[in-house]
């Protein structure tokens, strides 16, 4: 979509960020007492809460896998999370995001340890400002740790994209609306495996490679923030 807004001027973006700068991220874990694991995350103007339940017997029974657990991530955007009220309930977009997040998380979890079980990951977007799938997946990684679910690694996500011919990290709202491409990815930071990669818009092969490298670097930065939030919570619990 074309706009009159200048997204990139004098080396700076609309909100003053440099091309490779993330929005501010704040993560807190163990925020819901009825959930087995939980996380509250703010990423720029995104506010997301995640509650994890399980492993528990998968219901209905025909969904059970006798060899491994299933991951049920359910991404939902609250009606009040965006300027134009969002129609409540699942839609194509939320089903797609739930599916790709379930698959990404499933690669990190030792699913074979919990045959016939389900691990339920509820992702509620309270405020949305672009990049909610990355915010949701990153918060889910922390909530899974809080729930004590054994994982190979803590999955983490971040996007890069293109605005006015410039490859940039972590698109904000106007950049997402009026920019020319968005490339959200999730990785396993320890092994470097890519767990999710989606893209909309257009980039050249070189721009794609630059954006991918930038998003991977962004993931590693976000991963450090995840680990800090987890360490802080458990140091506090030990000291109590």
Q: How many CA atoms lie within 13 A of 36 on its CB side?
A: 14
Specify the residue, 96 or 112, whose C-beta has the smaller distance to ligand UDP. 96
Measuring CA to CA, which residue among 118, 122, 125 is closest to residue 101?
122
Nearest to 147 by CA among 25, 29, 226, 240: 29
Nearer to ligand UDP, 131 or 155 (CB): 131
Q: In this complex, which beta carbon is closest to ligand UDP, that of residue 54 or of residue 136?
A: 136
Is 169 strand, coil or helix? strand
- DSSP string spanning 19-33? TTPPPPEEEEE---S
- Residue 112, Cβ neighbours under 10 Å: how many? 10
What's the min distance (Å) between Cβ of 28 and ligand UDP? 21
Cβ 58 to ligand UDP shortest distance, Å: 27
Q: Select 42 or 129, whichever has its Cβ closest to ligand UDP.
A: 129
Least distance to ligand UDP from the beta carbon of 44, Å? 10
Question: Closest distance between ligand UDP and the C-beta of residue 93, in Å?
Answer: 6
Residue 160 CB, shortest distance to ligand UDP, in Å, is 12
Tokens of 66: 């006798």
Q: Which is nearer to ligand UDP, 55 or 184 (CB)?
A: 184
Q: What is the DSSP letter of 238?
A: H
Q: Which residues in this chain contact ligand UDP in the complex, by CB under 6 A?
A: 82, 86, 93, 128-133, 173, 176, 184
DSSP string covering 25-76, please? EEEEE---SSSSEEEEEEETTEEEEEEEEEEEE-SSGGG--SSS-EEEEEEE
Question: Distance between terminal CA atoms of the chain?
Answer: 53
């Amino acid at each position: 979509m074309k706009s009159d807004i200048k997204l990139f001027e004098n080396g700076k973006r609309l909100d003053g960020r440099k091309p490779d700068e993330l929005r501010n991220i704040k993560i807190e874990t163990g925020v819901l007492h009825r959930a087995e694991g939980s996380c509250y995350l703010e990423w720029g103007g995104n506010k997301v809460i995640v509650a994890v339940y399980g492993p528990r017997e998968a219901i209905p029974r025909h969904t059970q896998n006798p060899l491994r657990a299933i991951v049920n991530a359910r991404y939902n955007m609250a009606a009040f999370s965006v300027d134009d009220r969002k129609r409540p309930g699942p839609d194509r977009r939320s089903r797609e995001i739930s599916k790709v997040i379930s698959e990404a998380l499933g690669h990190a979890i030792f699913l074979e340890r919990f045959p016939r079980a389900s691990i339920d990951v509820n992702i509620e977007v309270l405020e949305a400002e672009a990049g909610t799938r990355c915010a949701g997946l990153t918060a889910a990684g922390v909530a899974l740790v809080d729930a004590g679910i054994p994982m190979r690694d803590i999955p983490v996500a971040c996007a890069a994209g293109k605005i006015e011919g410039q490859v940039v990290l972590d698109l904000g709202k106007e950049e997402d609306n009026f920019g020319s491409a968005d490339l959200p990815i999730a990785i396993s930071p320890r092994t470097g495996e890519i767990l999710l990669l989606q893209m909309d818009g257009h980039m050249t092969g070189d721009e794609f490679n630059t954006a991918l490298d930038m998003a991977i670097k962004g993931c590693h930065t976000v991963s450090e923030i995840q680990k800090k939030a987890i360490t802080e919570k458990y140091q506090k619990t030990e000291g109590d």
